Structures are given as C-alpha cells and as structure tokens.
Amino acid sequence: MRSFVRRQGRLTPRQEQALETQWPILGIEYQPELIDFSQIFGREAPVVLEIGFGMGTSLVTMAKNSPENNYFGIEVHAPGVGACLASAQEENATNLRVMCHDAIEVLNHMIPDNSLSMVQLFFPDPWHKARHNKRRIVQVPFAELILKKLTIGGVFHMATDWEPYAQHMLEVMTSVDSYHNLSKTHDFVPRPETRPVTKFEKRGHRLGHGVWDLMFKRVK
C-alpha cells in the first residue's frame, strides 16, 4: 500500500532557497525508526499530522493560529515542501515539522502508536475513474492504520470536493470498529473553523462545487 504517485516539479527560487535554509531546521529525514515528538519539537504538546499538505498554505495557517499544538506535515511534492517551508519562515511558525516521503511508510515505521491527537487528509486524489477507485488512499487498511496512531479521543478529519469519494470515505470509516462519527446526522460535519478555506476551495465554491468534511473520533 502506497499513498502517492511520486511527482517531481520545477522549484521556484523561493522554494529552492527555503529548502536550502529551512529544511535543516524544520525538515525531518526518513529513517525506519520511531520519532520522539517531544524531542523533534523541543516540547510536549498535542501532535496534529497532515498527510499531503500540497503547498502548505492551510498547514502553516493552522500552525500559526494554534501555537498550543505541534504540526507535522508529510508531502511528496518537493515544490510543495519548499513552498510550505518558505511560508513557515515568513510566518515564524516554529511549531511545524515536515517530511518529503511516502506517508504510508512514515506511518508504519516512524509514527508511534497512540501518539497523534488529530490526522488531517484534505482533498486527496479522488481517482475519478471507476477502475482507479482502488487507488484511493482511504481504504479499510489505511483507516485501521490511522486508528492505531491516534490517541484515544483523537480525530481523523477528512475533506473532499468529490461527492462519490465523500460517500466512499463515509462507508469505509463507518465499517471500522472503534471510530465514532462526530456528525450529528451520521454522515458529514460542517467545515470546522480549524480548517482554513483554501484558494482552491474558494474557486470550487464559485463554480458550484460542494465540499464534504468527515470527522471520526477514536473511542477505544
């Protein structure tokens, strides 16, 4: 099980400079041994993991707005990592660490069980074509893996602008024991204020696209 198709892109000067100067400060290299979050952040605080943070805009905003949390982002697209690091430097977001690696390998080999207060997965690739649906990251084994990494009471928060994927996510998450859907209507939740609205999402709203948020809490 892999979480991505590796994408390489051209770096802008801003992204390249951030990778050179900020990666040694905020970047975490992959190694198959468990992370000590208190050590890499230099403090004890709830850890929020975002998988596939894109250009990092919302991740940096959340880190800035919630200094009481530690934010850990995983993204495989080097320009996105560079952009995130540049934004973190500009916003002085010191409670943020990033990795450029496959999220499944990181979860399996580096993230301790029962260590995350929240996992965020915003707008993952929906793999629209039916024959590609099996490539969607949200499948039962993935939901079970996230469950192990969450603390009791920790929350898995997903968002998508593709309704068939939203329904798929709901079916998968509902089928896994030990999760409780935080939706009062047993399906989707209103967008929490903690999830910033991105330019991508605003554009979708203008085009009449919906966005579906799901939040499932680990209860045991």
Which residue out of 125, 177, 187, 213 is catalytically annotated? 125
Is residue 198 part of an annotated ligand binding site? yes
**Cα(84)–Cα(136) distance, rounded to whole angstroms?**
24
Question: Strands across the sheet with 96-99, in order?
Answer: 96-99, 70-74, 47-51, 116-122, 150-160, 212-218, 179-181
As a 3-state breakdown, the chain gives helix, strand, coil percent values, each rounded to 5, of 40, 20, 40
| Whether residue 125 lies in the annotated active site | yes
Is residue 29 part of an annotated ligand binding site? no
Is residue 200 part of an annotated ligand binding site? yes
Is residue 201 part of an annotated ligand binding site? yes
Is residue 113 part of an annotated ligand binding site? no
Is residue 68 part of an annotated ligand binding site? no
Question: Binding-site residues for S-adenosyl-L-methionine, please?
Answer: 50, 75, 102, 125
Q: Annotated catalytic sites, by residue?
A: 125
Question: Binding-site residues for substrate, please?
Answer: 129, 161, 198-201
